[in-house]
Amino acid sequence: MQTESSTLVARSPKVTEFLSKPRKLLIGGKWVEAKSGKTFKTLDPATGEVLAHVCEADAADIDEAVKAARAAFNGPWSKLTPSQRSRLLWKLADLLEQHTEEFAQLESLDNGKPLAVARIADVPLAVDNFRYMGGWCSKIEGNTIPLSAGNNFLAYTLREPVGVVAQIIPWNFPLLMAVWKLGPALAAGCTVVLKPAEQTPLTALRLGELFAEAGFPDGVVNIVPGFGETAGAALAAHPDVDKVAFTGSTEVGKLIVKAATGNLKKVTLELGGKSPNIVMGDADVEVAIAGAAHAIFFNHGQCCVAGSRLFVHEKLFDQVVEGVAAKAKKIRLGHGMDSGTQMGPLVSDEQLARVTDFLNSGVSEGARAAAGGARHGAQGYFVQPTVLVDVQPHMKVVREEIFGPVVTAHPFKTLDDVHIAANDTIYGLGAGIWTRDLSIAHRLAAKVKAGTVWVNCYNVFDAAMPFGGYKQSGWGREMGHNAIDLYTETKSVCIKL
Ligand code: NAP
Ligand code: MG
């Protein structure tokens, strides 16, 4: 790990202007202040400095936003044809693409991630997702069903939008998480109230401005930044919300489920992970080392699918651990807007404290850091990329989601050993397998309990490929046609002829 001091990329004038005013709530197509008049600050996590002030929604504003979403759902939005919805989503994608640099800078400043990553990953993946989902609008179909009840019936299904949807998202990929949720909801014909994470509200708010520009009717998308315990909880419990879609911690996911019971709204959840990344004895070692480092260090380990438990066949263990540790030590930490930066800070002082607590607990339970192991520097929320060895299955660092650049490395002997160890977790989001043996790849892919299994690659996402979790990693899937299914209800119509 290294730090380089060089100059920061100049902020685009549009970014400077966006940050210069308190950002308001988007409700019913209007930008309004919170009824309470309250605002909160969003910080640059590399320096701790205030980036912008944001109006803070609470239950009263959430109520207004839900009313606006309901009015749009019952009104102008339901009158559009599927192809009109498609064109709006494609126009939105075009606008987002045209503003790539502005969105990438806002994301880098607010979240801390390297600007280059936001430019080549976050924004283009978001654009792609809107384009892909735009294509679905005209392909949401029912079936005709032959009934054994008699030949004198015509039965068919309709797929209808679920209705008003609450979407609550985290801070690790602020724009992309908003788009993963908005795209299928809008394609299916739902209207939305979206609450961004308190740490990173900026790109969702900027995106909010593009809906009017693209021509969406007022109230189809409402954006209400605020805190989880107030705005988020009010949204999850709201009696006129038909579905809540949440991404974040498993702990809060359980609160969302409880809050949803009042009106039994539909719930989809994308939660935490402790994903196993398995290097078999026949793997291409250099490829596996690079893959293992990428799997844990991408986005500073703040990925729900982070390959945070590295299982390596005993004959390659030392070589792979040394390789990943060497890569960890070379990663250049710095401000996201510094073009030399490969890893930025964690998102907040809270996350810094959480991750360093995990590091301390690992060492006190007997783990050893082959690389990293501590905070980096005294300013900003930086943590050293860390590889922990001498770890045991019962340790907190092995069992719990750290959500930072920290991997635990475990040797194994046989395929059976490793698939049991890989599944020894409450989570089941992602998994990686590194092997040249196709038969092993397929056998292991079938045994690992995870929503996505990558073989000889990691962190490959595509708008067409379903994503979500087994076990306590979630309910339902995002992306692909599965996401559309979860934003629609099936209605059977049965006619006696
Ligand atoms: P979090 O508390 O689960 O927050 C995710 C979202 O839920 C945020 O928008 C948050 O609002 C909101 N929220 C919080 N409490 C709520 C409640 N009672 N009702 C409704 N909404 C609520 O995640 P975090 O605190 O940012 O991070 C804590 C840990 O969660 C991380 O260390 C990591 O382990 C895990 N995490 C996982 C993912 C993932 O993608 N799977 C993403 C982020 C975090 P506020 O921002 O205002 O709190
Ligand atoms: Mg911030």
pLDDT of residue 456: 98
| Centroid of ligand 2 to alpha carbon of 199 (angstroms) | 5
The Cα 280–Cα 357 span in angstroms is: 31
Which ligand is nearest the CA of 109, by number?
2
Residue indicated by tokens 């409402």: 222
The Cα 341–Cα 346 span in angstroms is: 14
What is the identity of the amino acid at 4?
E
| Centroid of ligand 1 to alpha carbon of 248 (angstroms) | 4
- In angstroms, what is the C-alpha Rg of the chain? 23
283: left (phi over 0), alpha (psi -120 to 50) or beta: beta
pLDDT of residue 6: 61
Which residues in 109-252 belong to E strands, given as ranges?
144-145, 153-161, 164-168, 191-195, 221-223, 243-247
Query: Which atom, in ligand 1's list, is nearest to the CA of 348?
Result: 26
| Centroid of ligand 1 to alpha carbon of 488 (angstroms) | 26
Query: Which atom, in ligand 1's list, is nearest to the CA of 170?
Result: 5
Query: Which atom, in ligand 1's list, is nearest to the CA of 168?
Result: 9
Residue 432 · residue 276 · CB < 8 Å = yes
Ligand 1 site, CB within 6 A: 168-172, 195, 197-199, 227-229, 232-233, 236, 247-249, 252, 255-256, 271-272, 304, 354, 401, 403
| Centroid of ligand 1 to alpha carbon of 228 (angstroms) | 7
Which ligand is nearest the CA of 238, by number?
1
Please identify every residue whose CB atom is under 5 Å from ligand 2, which is an ion: 42-43, 110, 199
| Centroid of ligand 1 to alpha carbon of 266 (angstroms) | 19
Which ligand is nearest the CA of 111, by number?
2
Query: Which atom, in ligand 1's list, is nearest to the CA of 195?
Result: 9
* Residue among 249, 359, 475 to mutate when testing ligand 1 (max atoms within 8 A of CB): 249
The Cα 259–Cα 265 span in angstroms is: 9
- Segment 428-474, tens digit of pLDDT: 999 999 999 999 999 999 999 999 999 999 999 999 999 999 999 99
The Cα 81–Cα 87 span in angstroms is: 10
The Cα 211–Cα 238 span in angstroms is: 24
At 155, list the tokens. 């039965």
pLDDT of residue 269: 98
Under-70 pLDDT residues of the chain: 1-6
Active site residues: 270, 304
| Centroid of ligand 1 to alpha carbon of 365 (angstroms) | 27
Q: Which residue's CA is minimally distant from atom 25 of ligand 1?
A: 249
Query: Which atom, in ligand 1's list, is nearest to the CA of 404?
Result: 32
Cβ partners under 8 Å of residue 153, min gap 6: 147, 494, 495, 496, 497
Residue 321, helix vs strand vs coil: helix
Q: Which residue's CA is minimally distant from atom 32 of ligand 1?
A: 403
Q: Which residue's CA is minimally distant from atom 19 of ligand 1?
A: 233
* Residue among 55, 235, 252 to mutate when testing ligand 1 (max atoms within 8 A of CB): 252
- As a dihedral over the C-alpha atoms of residue 319, residue 322, residue 327, residue 331, rounded to 10 degrees, the angle is 170
Residue 409 · residue 370 · CB < 8 Å = yes
The Cα 214–Cα 118 span in angstroms is: 23
State which H helix or E strand residue 124 sits in: helix 123-136
State which H helix or E strand residue 360 sits in: helix 349-364
The Cα 314–Cα 351 span in angstroms is: 33
Provide DSSP, 223-291. E--B-IIIIIHHHHH-TT--EEEEES-HHHHHHHHHHHTTTT-EEEEE-----EEEE-TTS-HHHHHHH
pLDDT of residue 7: 85
Residue 279 · residue 316 · CB < 8 Å = yes
Identify the CA nearest to 302 among candidates 176, 444, 454: 176
At 253, list the tokens. 């996911």
Which ligand is nearest the CA of 108, by number?
2
| Centroid of ligand 2 to alpha carbon of 429 (angstroms) | 26
Query: Which atom, in ligand 1's list, is nearest to the CA of 199?
Result: 46
Residue 456, helix vs strand vs coil: coil
pLDDT of residue 267: 98
Angle at 138 between CA 136 and CA 142, to 5 degrees: 95
Q: Which residue's CA is minimally distant from atom 12 of ligand 1?
A: 228
Ordered domains of the chain (ranges, CATH)? 8-271+473-494 (3.40.605.10), 276-463 (3.40.309.10)
Tell me the torsion sign for CA atoms 468, 186, 199, 245: negative
Phi, psi of 434 (to 5 degrees): -120, 110
